């Protein structure tokens, strides 16, 4: 077993950090220096997908709690 976190676990940890520190995702874009009009379309699409997934996880963690956020019902 690797000591490195999987990408999914890293996204969950980042979502938890975003929630704990009350970041808005728009602010995160700005902190990363992302200007959608200047970004490569493929890279921007990937980043948007990652942030959308984090946003979904963050909302589900807020609603269902950390232990139950992934349950479908």
Please indicate, yes or no, if residue 69 is contained in any of the structural domains. no
Number of separate domains in the chain: 1
* pLDDT of amino acid 1: 41
Mean per-residue pLDDT, 11-37: 75
Please indicate, yes or no, if residue 58 is contained in any of the structural domains. yes
pLDDT over 80 (residue 25) = no
- The parent domain of residue 60 ranges over 7-64
pLDDT over 80 (residue 3) = no
* pLDDT of amino acid 8: 73
Please indicate, yes or no, if residue 72 is contained in any of the structural domains. no
Provide, rounded to the nearest whole percent, the portion of the chain with pLDDT above 90: 0
**60, 69 in Cβ contact below 8 A?**
yes
Which range of 12-16, 44-48, 64-68 scores highest in mean pLDDT? It is 64-68
Around Cβ 23, how many Cβ atoms within 10 Å?
14
């Amino acid at each position: 077993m690797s000591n490195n976190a999987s990408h999914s676990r890293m996204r969950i940890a980042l979502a938890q950090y975003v929630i704990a520190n009350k970041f808005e995702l728009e602010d995160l874009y700005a902190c990363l220096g992302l200007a959608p009009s200047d970004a490569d379309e493929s890279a921007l699409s990937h980043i948007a997908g990652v942030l959308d997934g984090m946003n979904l996880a963050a909302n589900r963690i807020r609603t269902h709690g950390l232990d139950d956020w992934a349950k479908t019902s």
